[in-house]
Every structure is written in C-alpha cells, then in structure tokens.
Chain A
Amino acid sequence: MRTNFKAALLAAALLLSSGSALAEGNFWLWLVNFSRQKEVKAVDNKAWKEECGSCHFAYQPGLLPGKSWAKLLDEKALADHFGEDASLDADTLKEISDYAMANAAENSFYKRSRKIALATEDGEAPLRITEVRYIKRKHHEIPEKMVKGNKDVKSQAYCNACHTKAEEGIFDEDTVDIPNFPDRD
C-alpha cells in the first residue's frame, strides 16, 4: 500500500516536472490531443508566411532541425539564399528566427517533426528540405519521371505541387496528387 502510494507520487511528480520543463502548454496539449498532432505544425506566424511565402512554399519550421534554421536564417546567409538575395531587416529576421527555433523539428511535438529530428544524424544540418534524411527516405520509391521529369512538379522542393494539404502541414500519402499521374496507384 505504501509503496503503491510512493509510486503514484513519483509518477505524478515526473509528469508534472517534465511538463513544466517543456515549453508551456505544448506537452499538455500533446497529452490530451495527440491525434491532431500527427503531422507537422502549420505555420501560424504572419511574418513567416509573408516573408518566406512570397518567393516559395513557406516550409514549416518543423521540417528542419534548429541547426539548419540557424544556418539559413542568418543575415549573411540570407543575402545569398540559394543564389537569391532574400535579406530581411533586423526586426523581421529576429521574429522569423525565433519562430523557427521554437518550432524546429526537435522542439516540436508533431509526429512527423519528431521523425525528422530523430532521423537527423548528430551534427548534421541539412540546408535543403530535399536533403533531410526522413524526407528523402519517404520519397525513395517515387520514380524520377514523376518529379524531375514532370513539368508540373520539377523538384521535390515544391512540396505543394503534389501534397495538396502541404500548407496545413499535412503530408499524408492520402493527400498526395501527382500532376500528370492520376493513376499512380
């Protein structure tokens, strides 16, 4: 009886401490609501949507580890962002990099982000979405003609060319529609 009580106390303490040690609310949200957090957290920051989304698909922060975002979202790095000048003013850059770090793959409770973080090897900081191990693995079996050779897709970097719900952070296979290949299955 006594040991039972002790065990219960210990369990409660563990739950509480881990909860408070993690970002506020996140853990509890995950605990009671995990069915909704299967995918990747949709972008809920206006500056992110506008600044990233004005040139390309606004990749969710949870698609890359924090290390990658830190490299990408640096003043100098942005002046040559894959060959383009994507420089931002200091205030906007701060908002965007804070948002990236708070929601980076390893800091997210969303299942797909967790998998991305887990699949990333120590010290690795992929700069391109297409270099992320988990994402690479998931696309392994897709023939080149459907992506590179497909004039309406061209690259895996254009997530929303096939992932119809990419903007909502949903990358589930059921939501995939590859242009020019309607009978993929």
Chain B
Amino acid sequence: MKLRKILMTAGLLLATTTALATPATDELFARYKAEGATGFDAGRGDKAWHKESKGTEGQMMSCTSCHGPDLGKEGKHHKTNKVIGPMAPSVNKERFTDAKKIEKWFKRNCNDVLARECTAQEKGDYLKFLLGK
C-alpha cells in the first residue's frame, strides 16, 4: 500500500517533468477539464493553430499570422509589427509560466483570429501542442 503510493507520486513527478508542463499549465488543464473538456490532444491543437479563419476584420488569418511559421523563432504582430517572443517553451523559458497571462492572451487572440472566444477544449489542445515545442 505504502509502496504503491510512493511509486505513484514518483510516477507523477516524472510525468510532470518529462511531459513539459509547468504548474501554470497543470492548473489550466485541470480548470479546462472542470469546464467540460475531455483529454487534450497536441495533434488537434496543431491543426487548429494552422487553420485559417475569418478574423474580426474579415480577413483570413491564423495563429501564425502573428506568431510566425516557426514557433522557435520570434513572431511579428500583423498590424503593429511589434516583435512577439518565440512561443516554444524549449527556447523561451518564460512561456506558459503564468496562468493569468495565458488566459488573457487566449481571450484576446481567439477573439481576434476566430472572432469568438475559445472553448476549454480548444485552449487545452493549443496548450498541449505548444508545450511540446
């Protein structure tokens, strides 16, 4: 019984360190699940990330319009030209360490690109995809 518990916690620890997660994303994944999402899929996130749709101003855009084609490199805001730090946590250690910040940008960027807010499921998929980069 005791051994199982130890093994389990060890396993959990290992999982959190190898699956590229941060306390912030763990918190968010749990929240999204509580909001009705069921399991998150990096492949789905990847597809959605690259999918073009009509933004608030009627033009076709995707996440890459501002974040660029290479997540390991800087992006550029499509309108203001402001440089956006790389999204990949492997090169940008600051990424996905602040739950509030992640949520803030999901709200804004989903609205700008999809002209609506994202669902908990979509946000989780995006996160899963990005965390692996």
A and B from one complex: yes
Please report A residues at the B interface, Cβ cutoff 8 Å: 53-57, 79-80, 82-89, 154, 157-158
Assess the B81–A154 pair: CB atoms within 8 A.
yes
Assess the A83–B57 pair: CB atoms within 8 A.
yes
| A-B contacts, CB under 8 A, total | 37
Q: Within the complex, what minimum Cβ distance (angstroms) separates A179 from chain B?
A: 12
Assess the A85–B111 pair: CB atoms within 8 A.
yes
- What would 24 A/B residue contacts be, using CB atoms closer than 8 Å? A54-B82, A55-B77, A55-B82, A56-B77, A56-B82, A57-B82, A79-B111, A82-B79, A83-B56, A83-B57, A83-B79, A84-B56, A84-B79, A84-B112, A85-B56, A85-B107, A85-B109, A85-B111, A85-B112, A86-B108, A87-B107, A87-B108, A89-B104, A157-B80
Q: Within the complex, what minimum Cβ distance (angstroms) separates A83 from chain B?
A: 5
Interface residue tally of chain B, by bracket?
Answer: 10 to 19
CA distance A70 to B89 in the complex (A): 37
CA distance A129 to B77 in the complex (A): 19
CA distance A55 to B85 in the complex (A): 11
Q: Within the complex, what minimum Cβ distance (angstroms) separates B67 from chain A?
A: 13
Q: Within the complex, what minimum Cβ distance (angstroms) separates A90 from chain B?
A: 12
Please report B residues at the A interface, Cβ cutoff 8 Å: 56-57, 77, 79-82, 100, 104, 107-109, 111-112
Q: Using Cβ atoms and an 8 Å threshold, which residues of chain B touch A154?
A: 81
Q: Using Cβ atoms and an 8 Å threshold, which residues of chain B touch A157?
A: 80
Interface SS majority for chain A: loop
Q: Using Cβ atoms and an 8 Å threshold, which residues of chain A touch B109?
A: 85
Known A83-B56, A83-B57, A84-B112; judge A56-B80 contact (CB<8 A).
yes
Q: Using Cβ atoms and an 8 Å threshold, which residues of chain A touch B111?
A: 79, 85
Q: Using Cβ atoms and an 8 Å threshold, which residues of chain B touch A80?
A: 56
Q: Which of A55, A85, A87, A88 contacts B80 (CB 8 A)?
A: A55
Q: Using Cβ atoms and an 8 Å threshold, which residues of chain B touch A57?
A: 80, 82
Assess the A84–B82 pair: CB atoms within 8 A.
no
CA distance A82 to B77 in the complex (A): 14
Which residue on A lies nearest to B113, using beta carbons?
A85
Q: Using Cβ atoms and an 8 Å threshold, which residues of chain A touch B57?
A: 83
Assess the B108–A84 pair: CB atoms within 8 A.
yes
Known: A85-B56, A85-B107. 13 other contacts (CB 8 A): A54-B82, A55-B77, A57-B82, A82-B79, A83-B56, A83-B57, A84-B56, A84-B112, A85-B109, A86-B108, A157-B80, A158-B80, A158-B81
Which residue on A lies nearest to B55, using beta carbons?
A83
CA distance A87 to B112 in the complex (A): 11
Q: Using Cβ atoms and an 8 Å threshold, which residues of chain A touch B81?
A: 154, 158
CA distance A57 to B109 in the complex (A): 19
Q: Using Cβ atoms and an 8 Å threshold, which residues of chain B touch A55?
A: 77, 80, 82
Most interface-central of A57, A80, A84, A87 (chain B CB within 10 A): A84
